[in-house]
Structure 1
Amino acid sequence: MTPVQAWEALRGDPRAVLVDVRTRAEWAYVGLPDLRPLDKDLVTIEWQTFPEGRVNADFARQLEEAGVGRDQPVYFLCRSGVRSVAAAQLATQAGWTRSHNVLDGFEGPHDAEQHRTVSGWKVAGLPWVQG
């Protein structure tokens, strides 16, 4: 689903959760979705560890430890919508029954000048914070 559709789903369902699967460096330097207008907390779990780039073998366990119920609607977000697909697939295989990928992620794909200005959470004008 698109970032705007994910925002609407988060707003419409008090049990819905947004999980940002980017790295700690991305959260710190690029920014984070701001769910305060929805009175929700963002769940942050790295899909790939920073700086090594290894897939996080503890991802499902950390999702469970974060209190995300296996029957809750869960929306996974990364930078451009690639890592979040893998995270949603793993969550589904691990028993989360309502896993969704947020298309184009937080920043979206590159434009012709190699800038991330085409689509994504930030380009859609959804709330976010930095640093």
Structure 2
Amino acid sequence: MPGVPDISPTETWEALRADPEAVLIDVRTDAEWNFVGLPDLTGIGKQTLLVPWQLYPSMQVNGSFPDHLHKAGLTATHRLYFICRSGARSLAAGQAAQAAGFPQAFNVADGFEGPVDGEGHRGTVAGWKAAGLPWRQR
């Protein structure tokens, strides 16, 4: 297995815009989607697929994760871009996707919010929000 490459949020946005087979999969929890916000792909005629990697509040790994990808109609031809808060869960999700027969998996580096800044806040240093890409509250 070649591994799951990191790709910047801006490169992800460009790939999603240019490639009809590209899909953004947000693997955060319901709580994060509801309280932190979501990538907004409506401007490019797409929707973010929401499939939690871990189930809130237990944070157990979602054993049905690959099934959700298949049920969403995804195939080996799709390029799958996984995003979480900062890039760790999305990497694990990408690895699981590859193991389940989705070879074109990418990890969105720094995730939706990225690392904390000097004042302990996320969303300002790196990641989807810091890159100025479209997002919305749920």
- Asked if Structure 1 and Structure 2 have the same fold, meaning a TM-score greater than 0.5 normalized by the shorter chain, the answer is yes
Residue of structure 1 aligned with 2:68, choices 56, 62, 69: 62
For residues 32 and 91 of structure 1, what CA distance do their matches in structure 2 show?
21
TM-score (norm 1): 0.97
Q: Distance in 2 between matches of 1:20 and 1:70?
A: 18
Deviation per residue, 1:33-69 (Å, 9 max, x gap): 0000110111000000011110000000011111122
Matched to 2:132, the amino acid is G
The question of whether the paired residues in 1 share the 8 Å contact of 2:9 and 2:111 is answered with yes
Matched residues, number:
131
Q: Residue 31 of structure 1 corresponds to which residue in structure 2?
A: 37
RMSD between superposed Cα atoms in Å: 0.7
Instruction: Report the Cα distance in structure 1 between the residues aligned to 2:12 and 2:134, rounded to whole angstroms.
Output: 12
CA–CA separation in structure 2 for the residues paired with 1:67 and 1:52:
28
1:127 and 2:98 correspond: no
Question: What runs of 5+ residues in structure 2 fail to find an aligned partner?
Answer: 1-6
Quick check: 2:9–2:128 contact (8 Å CA) kept in 1? Answer: yes
Q: Shift of the alpha carbon at 1:15?
A: 1.3
> Match for 2:125 among 110, 118, 127?
118
Partner of 2:23: 17
Mapped partners of 1:66, 1:25: distance in 2: 21
One-letter amino acid of the structure 2 residue matched with residue 122 of structure 1? K
8 Å CA contact retained: 2:87, 2:108 = yes
> Are residues 1:74 and 2:96 paired?
no
Question: Residues 21 and 77 of structure 2 are in contact (CA less than 8 Å); yes or no, is this contact kept in structure 1?
Answer: no
**1:113 Cα deviation (Å)?**
1.6
In the alignment, the residues of structure 2 paired with residue 68 and residue 77 of structure 1 have an alpha-carbon distance, to the nearest angstrom, of 16
Q: What is the CA distance between 1:119 and its match in structure 2?
A: 0.5
Structure 1 residue 107: Cα displacement: 0.2
Aligned partners of 2:16 and 2:22 also within 8 Å: yes
